[in-house]
Structure 1
Amino acid sequence: MLGTHAKILQTIPWMRDRTAALVRTVADLDRLSLFLAAAQILLITGAFGSLLAQSNWTMVLLYGFLLAAGVGWIVRQALTAKIVTFLMTATTLVTLGLIAAFLVRESIPVVRHSGLGLISPFGSNEWAASQQQFTLVPMIWGTALTTGVAILVAAPFGVAGALFISDIAPDWLREIVKPAVELLAGIPSIVYGFIGVTIIDPYVANLLSISPGALFVIGLIIGFMALPTVISVAEDALSAVPESMKDGSLAMGVTDWQTMKSVSIPTAFSGISAAVLLGVGRAIGETMAATVIIAHSRRLPGPELYNVFDSTETLTTLIASSYGNATPGSKFMSALFAAGVLLLVIVTGLGIVSQLIEQRMHRKLGEGQ
């Protein structure tokens, strides 16, 4: 709490200074610049509001903004660049806020209907849409289990790949491997799902004598989908370790592996943790890979809750497999929106935590230098 309070106190003067700088900038504008700035802001704001209201004036206002921005780019390029970048950033933030608000609003009916039973594990935990009985506990638990398996897959393989790229591979090989790994992030999730349902799922089912669509397979696929992000971010963290620390370790006579194990990994551990969280958080939101594999059994795993070789449902697969059958405005549809809210909170939380951990690592390394 003290750290948060200190950050707030540090932020207030910064905001005051930025506001004063903005006021001075506006005061220094000539009439033409002020007119162009006001026209661009008013036109894009009107276009955005018209879009939300589904008005026919949307395109007219948008074309007006493009015209004003074009004129501004010719006569006041620097000012127009600042205005456009500010407007695009503000539009992005407002859009994300509206999406979150819309999800929350649409989920209110099922929250009123089911109360805490929607997410409480102490109720019946049975999903029966025909009886207007909704619970997201099996889906939350299924998401947690698949995430746990994904972390067990992505963490060791991701760290190993990052170590190879940052500390082992020669420069010429690093220039080939790193872009190739980053390109893997562009593979559509349905491709991973197709490989999983046709190759991995039948193989694991026959090998372990389990039913197809097990949570273990889903977690395995999600873990591999997270690998490009984990490797890329973890490699950046390992590359941020000062070379002087590694050279000092080698000068004492230790091997390269001992240096990586005792210097590189501990120093960059915060960044590596952030890489795993960020990678898995992004992979959790991927829907199609899990939807085509999972058995869509809306119940808790059995006989033990931690049985990853059984099947249930996850938050993403629930939405993907059910929205086509849900009637708009029904409790069923509202429950799907509630699942979306939980998914948004989980993924956003993982992203925020990973960013905070990564910032902490950079501060730590900066102080060490």
Structure 2
Amino acid sequence: MIGSIDARVSSVRTSVEDMDRGAQFVDAVALVAVLATLGAFLFAPALTVFPFGAFLAVVLYGWVAHQANTAKLLMFLMTASTVVILGLITVYLLARSIPAFQLMGLDIVTRLQKPFWSTSQNVFSLVPMIWGTLVTTLLAMAIAAPLGVAGALFISEIAPGWVREVVKPGVEILAGIPSIVYGYIGYVIINTYMSEEFGLANFGSLFAAGLVIGVMALPTVVSVAEDAIASVPESMKSGSLALGATDWQTIKSVTIPASFSGVSAAVLLGVGRAVGETMAVTVMLPHSQALPQPLYDVFQGTETLTSLIASQYGIASGNQMAALFAAGVVLFVTVLGLSIASQLVEAHMERKLGGQR
């Protein structure tokens, strides 16, 4: 009988080993197919369909025969593809922008003399566009950050249940409205109003664009900040109230500090939305590649990095196209810096709340 049990155990072990070998073979073939698909896409696009079809066939077989192992492989590939795509975008942006940096050097981000942008003179300076992006972002966040955090606190901590059920879906609907709709409303209503009532020299201004972008970023800030505030453990707030603190003291001294990393991430996401906004500013701004005079005059119109790319890529070539890619590099570095800043803030707050130095 013992011999029979040993034989069964040995049979099961052999079967498991065979299944493991089959799963490993499927993984290896799938990885080779993915690499072949990537290589074909980069160097022979017309042939991409063949290795991709082989990958789909292998995954389909693996899903039927080795589902758990295939699911792990697919999750790994999805995660790795994010890193690969980011790397390819970075390399492509840098490669296409090299001629502009070779032509202008550091003047592409530091030149302060006119002309700033002239295709006939082969001069391309991004200074006015960087300034326009900075000003519109600051104006947008002056609106979205305080109102967004206040709205999140109201929805999460103050509003009755029925109000929360109405307001929160409404905020999420606002986040889904296309940016071109905001831009068109801003162009027709806000630009017209400011031009008629304030007598602006140009139809469109940084102030109007910043106002519209701030309204656009507001739902993002509210939604993310509300989730962060709602994640604060109820026991912390109940303990504060049990010690005699008022609702406002609890919000100010417990809820906001405990959720600060999430709230700051919400604000930085709003900043990223403001920096990367394209269509609204493209519609509303007058596309003047020049610095405002005086520099702090937000009622003049200039250009942002995104509106520059959107308005000129269709007619650009040569050094002008390379300069547009250089604008993309500046945007990429800016968003990367914001992402790193959000990670540092989150890490700092985790150390602070955890009692570490």
Kindly indicate whether the alpha-carbon contact (under 8 Å) linking 2:175 and 2:216 is maintained by their aligned counterparts in 1.
yes
Which residue, out of 255, 265, 269, partners 1:278? 269
- TM-aligned CA distance change 1:362 to 1:125, over 3 Å: farther
Per the alignment, do residues 307 and 34 of structure 1 end up closer, same or farther by CA in structure 2, a change over 3 Å counting? Answer: same
SS class of match (2:120): helix
Aligned to 1:22: none
Instruction: Provide, for residues 270-322 of structure 1, a one-character-per-residue CA deviation record: whole Å limited to 9, x for no partner.
Output: 4322211111202321211110000101011112x121111111000000001
More divergent stretch after superposition (230-239 vs 188-197): 230-239
Q: Are the structure 2 counterparts of residues 56 and 122 from structure 1 closer, same or farther at C-alpha, using a change threshold of 3 Å?
A: closer
Letter in 1 for 2:123: Q
Using a 3 Å threshold, how does the CA distance of structure 1 residues 362 and 174 change in structure 2: closer, same or farther?
farther
1:101 positional shift: 0.6
Shift of 1:255: 3.8
Report the aligned-residue RMSD: 2.2
Deviations 1:188-223 (A, max 9, x none): 111111111111221233333323210011111111
Residues paired across the two proteins, number: 339
Tell me which residue corresponds to 2:229.
Answer: 238
Deviations 1:225-255 (A, max 9, x none): 1111101121122223343443344345554
Counterpart of 1:21? none
For the 8 Å contact 1:117–1:123, the answer to whether it is kept is: no
2:13 is aligned to none
Could you tell me how far apart the structure 2 residues matched to 1:28 and 1:222 are? 59
SS for the counterpart of 2:297 is coil
Q: Which runs of 5+ in 1 are unaligned?
A: 1-26
Which residue, 250, 256, 264 being the options, matches 2:241? 250
1:228 is aligned to 219
Please, which of 203, 225, 246 is the counterpart of residue 212 of structure 1? 203
Conserved? CA contact 1:249–1:259, under 8 Å: yes
Larger-Rg structure: 2
TM-score, normalised by the number of residues in structure 1: 0.85
Corresponding position of 1:11: none
Change (3 A) 1:28 1:241: farther
Aligned to 1:174: 164
Deviation at 1:56, TM superposition (A): 2.5
Are 2:341 and 1:353 equivalent residues in the alignment? yes
SS of the aligned residue for 1:119 comes to helix
The residue correspondences of 1:62-211 to structure 2 (distance < 5 A) are 62-121=52-111, 123-124=113-114, 126-210=116-200, 211=202
Which one-letter code corresponds to 1:342 in the other structure? Answer: V
Q: How has the CA–CA distance of structure 1 residues 122 and 298 changed in structure 2, closer, same or farther, with 3 Å as cutoff?
A: closer
Contact 1:165 1:178 in 2 (8 A): yes
* 1:313 corresponds to: 303
1 CA distance for matches of 2:26 and 2:308? 48
Shift in CA distance, 347/92, structure 1 to aligned 2, threshold 3 Å: same
Q: Name 2:280's counterpart in structure 1.
A: 289
Opposite residue 58 of structure 1, the aligned amino acid is T
CA distance in 2, matches of 1:158, 1:69: 44
215-224 or 358-367, which deviates more: 358-367
Q: 1:35 Cα deviation (Å)?
A: 1.5
Is the Cα contact below 8 Å between 1:222 and 1:280 reproduced in 2? no
Say if 2:20 is the partner of 1:30.
yes
**Displacement after TM superposition at 1:352 (Å):** 2.9
CA gap of 1:54–1:192, structure 2 versus 1, over 3 A, is farther
Alignment counterpart, residue 50 of structure 1, candidates 8, 16, 40: 40
Show structure 2 runs of 5+ residues with no match.
Answer: 1-16
Tell me by how many angstroms 1:174 deviates: 2.4
User: What letter is aligned with 1:30?
Assistant: D
Alignment match of 2:321 (pick from 322, 333, 339): 333
Residue 259 of structure 1 corresponds to 250
- Taking every aligned residue pair, what percent have the same amino acid on both sides? 57
**Segment of structure 1 superposing worse, 255-264 or 183-192:** 255-264
Which residue number corresponds to residue 12 of structure 1? none
Residue 322 of structure 1: which of 312, 318, 322 is its match? 312
Equivalent position SS for 2:46? coil
